[in-house]
């Protein structure tokens, strides 16, 4: 039997919300957002999760674009 504690459900919801945003999933984690609010997670904590996820998403997009431009030999 596994004696290790499970992650709290709000932590799982935050991870799911962040991954949905960062991966550009069509639902964007909106159901997780509802769960977090219903669980009483403070809005500033939710906003931090969203900000970090968007930063990761945007940074990945910039790096992908730069790699494409380099391989395609596009000058900008």
- Residues 55-70: tens digit of each pLDDT: 999 999 999 999 999 9
Q: What is the mean pLDDT of residues 11-26?
A: 93
DSSP string, 40-58: T--HHHHHHHHHHHHHHHH
pLDDT at 3: 84
Q: What is the mean pLDDT of residues 1-7?
A: 82
**Cα 2 to the chain's mean position, in Å?**
29
Exposure letters 31-42 (e unless 16+ CB within 10 A, then b): ebbebbeeeebe
pTM for this prediction: 0.80
The dihedral region occupied by 53, where left means phi > 0, alpha psi between -120 and 50, and beta the remainder, is: alpha
Convert the pLDDT of each residue in 21-52 to its tens digit. 999 888 878 899 999 999 999 999 999 999 99
């Amino acid at each position: 039997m596994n004696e290790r504690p499970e992650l709290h459900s709000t932590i799982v919801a935050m991870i799911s919300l962040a991954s949905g945003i960062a991966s550009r999933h069509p639902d964007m984690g909106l159901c997780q957002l509802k769960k977090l609010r219903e669980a009483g997670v403070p809005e500033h904590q939710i906003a931090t999760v969203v900000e970090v996820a968007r930063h990761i998403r945007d940074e990945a997009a910039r790096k992908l674009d730069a790699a494409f431009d380099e391989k395609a030999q596009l000058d900008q």
